[in-house]
Structure 1
Amino acid sequence: MHVLIVNNTAIPALKYGGTERVIWWLGKALVKAGHQVSYLVAPGSSCPFADVYPFDPSQPFNQQVPKDKGIDIIHLNHGVNETPLLPHLMTMHGNMNEQIPLPVNTVFVSRNHAERFCSESFVCNGIDPDDYGDPALDTVRSYIHFLGDAAWRVKNVQGAIDVSRKAKWPLHVIGGHRFNFNQGIRLTFDTHVHFHGMKGGDEKNHILRHSAAMLFPVRWHEPFGLAITESLYFGCPVFGTPYGSLTEIVTKDVGYLSASKNELAEALQHIDQYDRKRCHERVMDQFTATHMMQQYLQKYEIVLNGHTLNHHPPVLKEIQDEKFLPFRD
């Protein structure tokens, strides 16, 4: 089939950009499986395995869909300004805190994500192992890491710093800077913390290959979190909070979940009990781009056969009143 993948940002993503990498990996996996893929994405994009068309959110959407290209289904990754004329579905990648009905053919990115919107329709994000290479499971590991946009307060880099200090582990932060204007001018004095800024590709992979574990004490319901599966791929057990997708991705054999700083710090004293090979296998068994592609093909077939992915338009089950989910000592 011919799939048109739509997003309002540019591809490829060179550093930060979860959705951009997901749709790249999905398209690549579809092409490998014998399907045709085109992208309708922000100007400046390029792709060696698919045709790319520029997306302009100010123009009517259906006028921008390539004509006479034999497109079978449109895969949206954000809302558009009119209902597509062709069969379509939409993946919701983030969170919202409003009880506004979503399109009936909405797909979520984890079971927890779907359940919070009264839905059972989800496809977990999958990574492309080709982008990560050798996980080097036998390398010496001398620090732990935080991976995410540290300027985003729900990611809770300060909580990670506090826990790593309690556990007496050096912490490497990928995705943030020691001096941060985005959090009301924050300067981190802790000398046990090393800030790498935004890193991608080989630079990020090198840091992960030498990390003993990931510290990820998020204070929101993480929709999926590529950082989790990337870390597991490199044999890093994940120590985080029991929110969102973490409860289904981080099983007891590959990590530890708690909303307590002290409990996470104590658990970090026992990193050696986790098998790096098992952490790696957790991803390879369930969270690769091939797994994701196969599950989306099932969704495409349902839509093409005239059925809907949800019995009713998904809507948020419960408004969250607190700005941040609990994280205690």
Structure 2
Amino acid sequence: MKVAILSPVAWRTPPRHYGPWEQVASNIAEGLVAKGIDVTLFATLDSETKGKLDGIIERGYEEDKDSDPKVSECLHISYAMERAREFDIIHNHFDFLPLTYTGLINTPVVTTIHGFSSPKIIPVYKRYNSINHYVSISNSDRSPELKYIATVYNGINKNLFTLNEYPDDYLLFFGRIHHDKGTREAIEIAKKAKMKLIISGIIQDRDYFDSNVAPYINDDDIIFVGSSGPEKRDHLLRNAKALLHPVNFDEPFGLSVAEAMFCGTPVIAFNRGSMPELINDGITGFLVKNVTEAVEKIPQLERLDRKKCREWAETHFSQEKMVNDYIKVYEQILE
């Protein structure tokens, strides 16, 4: 089986710090290679893979501000699709734009839908539904207007995360700084619980950061450390008492939630989107409705077994499980 993985080109694959779609594309590519499958990763040319790397874009447009995002996307997608005949399966992680080529090629395309940026993009998915194979990353993130071949949870390389049964006394917010992610709510939770909060992530909304986050940063109980690469991410996650994930939208997955549990770190999350699928309530964390409920759960963190958090993550969100599930999807299509 020859598989082409089409990764986005906003960031390098795998990303140096932020880039969830690129990270998942990398995890799938490397997992398939480990199983002896012939994999070509279409990504930025500074990307890293044990498979074959191909592409036409030198660096991600978020890391090369002289490039035009739309031009980069157009060149990258068309370059991969022009080589479609060389592969048995194309696995698309580039949202809806590559779908517009699928009526022009014979190679079957699997599209992992990493979330809907807007309901306005669903007509594109609907138009090409009959000749594509859609995979959702959680059952909660399915559109009733589409047909799916499977749900496959995102998988994590467990070797990048260290189980720690004896954490430090701080809470962690890990994610992009944006209203959707609930950075301000995390600050409120920490303040009311009288605990230190470390915030790590890219500033996606500068106005939101300036108004809702920056005024509280004091390098004492509210600390902002910016974006964190793999080693720093593992350090922050494994030493946290809990990850706070008070999202203000129906999140389709949430990589940091699974990553935290791989470190044995429980998660306190607002009960929205995929959170009930990711968190085993009362075992690997707590699902809450609001800031007040989150604060009330913090004293109960002591009774949670951090080893069970790791076991839950390995069972449900491992790279191996994800790759095996995708191989089943490929085989089903090719049969």
Equivalent position SS for 1:161: helix
1:229-240 to 2 correspondences below 5 Å: 229-240=258-269
Match of 1:309 in 2: none
1:146 aligns with 2:173: yes
Greater displacement, 119-128 / 276-285: 119-128
**Cα offset for 1:166?**
1.0
Match of 1:282 in 2: 312
Equivalent position SS for 2:192: helix
**Cα offset for 1:62?**
5.8
Match of 1:198 in 2: 227
Following the alignment from structure 1 to structure 2, what is the Cα–Cα distance between the partners of residues 285 and 60?
A: 35
1:71 aligns with 2:100: no
Structure with the higher helix share, 1 or 2: 2
5+ residue gaps in structure 1?
A: 306-329
**Cα offset for 1:190?**
5.0
* Equivalent residues of 2:173, 2:199 under 8 A apart: yes
Q: 1:144 to 1:181 in 2, by over 3 A?
A: same
Greater displacement, 61-70 / 254-263: 61-70
Aligned match of 1:189 in 216, 230, 245?
216
**Cα offset for 1:188?**
2.5
Equivalent position SS for 2:49: coil
Match of 1:6 in 2: 6
* Equivalent residues of 1:233, 1:283 under 8 A apart: yes
**Cα offset for 1:67?**
4.5
Following the alignment from structure 1 to structure 2, what is the Cα–Cα distance between the partners of residues 2 and 146?
A: 40
Following the alignment from structure 1 to structure 2, what is the Cα–Cα distance between the partners of residues 63 and 249?
A: 36
1:97 aligns with 2:126: no
Following the alignment from structure 1 to structure 2, what is the Cα–Cα distance between the partners of residues 63 and 74?
A: 13
Partner AA of 1:163 in structure 2: I
Aligned match of 2:200 in 168, 174, 177?
174
Following the alignment from structure 1 to structure 2, what is the Cα–Cα distance between the partners of residues 89 and 68?
A: 13
Following the alignment from structure 1 to structure 2, what is the Cα–Cα distance between the partners of residues 60 and 135?
A: 38
Partner AA of 1:27 in structure 2: A
Match of 1:109 in 2: 137
Aligned match of 1:292 in 305, 317, 322?
322
* Equivalent residues of 1:148, 1:175 under 8 A apart: yes
Equivalent position SS for 1:127: coil
Following the alignment from structure 1 to structure 2, what is the Cα–Cα distance between the partners of residues 145 and 231?
A: 10
Following the alignment from structure 2 to structure 1, what is the Cα–Cα distance between the partners of residues 151 and 291?
A: 31
Using CA pairs under 8 Å that are at least 6 residues apart, name the structure with larger relative contact order, 1 or 2. Answer: 1
Following the alignment from structure 2 to structure 1, what is the Cα–Cα distance between the partners of residues 47 and 188?
A: 40
Q: 1:143 to 1:86 in 2, by over 3 A?
A: same
* Equivalent residues of 1:114, 1:122 under 8 A apart: no
**Cα offset for 1:189?**
2.3
Equivalent position SS for 1:12: coil
Following the alignment from structure 2 to structure 1, what is the Cα–Cα distance between the partners of residues 144 and 172?
A: 29
Following the alignment from structure 1 to structure 2, what is the Cα–Cα distance between the partners of residues 175 and 241?
A: 19
Question: Once the two structures are superposed, what CA deviation does each residue of 1:13-39 show, in whole Å capped at 9, x if it has no partner?
Answer: 110111111111111111111111101
1:262 aligns with 2:292: yes
1:33-72 to 2 correspondences below 5 Å: 33-54=35-56, 57-59=73-75, 61=77, 64-65=80-81, 67=83, 70-72=86-88
Following the alignment from structure 1 to structure 2, what is the Cα–Cα distance between the partners of residues 93 and 182?
A: 26
* Equivalent residues of 2:217, 2:224 under 8 A apart: no
Question: Once the two structures are superposed, what CA deviation does each residue of 1:145-187 show, in whole Å capped at 9, x if it has no partner?
Answer: 011001x21001000100111111211111157xx73427332
Q: 1:68 to 1:282 in 2, by over 3 A?
A: closer
Match of 1:324 in 2: none
* Equivalent residues of 2:158, 2:318 under 8 A apart: yes
TM-score normalised to the size of structure 2?
Answer: 0.83
**Cα offset for 1:274?**
0.9
Following the alignment from structure 1 to structure 2, what is the Cα–Cα distance between the partners of residues 279 and 181?
A: 34
Q: 1:64 to 1:28 in 2, by over 3 A?
A: closer
* Equivalent residues of 1:88, 1:303 under 8 A apart: no
